[in-house]
Amino acid sequence: MSASSNPLKWLDANLERYLIIVAYATMTTIIFVEVIQRFVFKQQAPWSTTVPVYLFIWITWIGAAYNVRQRSHLAFTEFRASMPYALQFLCVLLDHVLWIAFSAMVVYYSIDLVQLLRDNYAIVPGTDDVMQWWFYLAIPIGWTLLAFRALQNIFEDIGRFSRKEPFVFTASIGGD
* 173 pLDDT higher than 50: no
Contact at 8 Å (CB) between 55 and 132?
no
Please report whether residue 2 resides in a domain: no
Please report whether residue 171 resides in a domain: no
Please report whether residue 175 resides in a domain: no
Domain that holds residue 154: 7-163
pLDDT band at 3 (very low <50, low <70, confident <90, very high): low
> Structure pTM?
0.86
Q: What are the C-alpha distances in Å from 57 to residues 24, 27, 106, 144, 155?
A: 11, 11, 14, 15, 29
Please report whether residue 53 resides in a domain: yes
The count of domains in the chain is 1
Highest mean pLDDT among 6-10, 44-48, 102-106: 102-106
* 139 pLDDT higher than 60: yes
Q: What are the C-alpha distances in Å from 50 to residues 4, 53, 118, 155?
A: 37, 5, 18, 40
Please report whether residue 168 resides in a domain: no
Q: Which tops the pLDDT comparison, 2 or 106? A: 106
Q: What is the number of other CB atoms lying within 10 angstroms of the CB of residue 156?
A: 16
Please report whether residue 1 resides in a domain: no
* 76 pLDDT higher than 90: no
Average pLDDT of the segment spanning 9-29: 93
Please report whether residue 158 resides in a domain: yes
Please report whether residue 173 resides in a domain: no
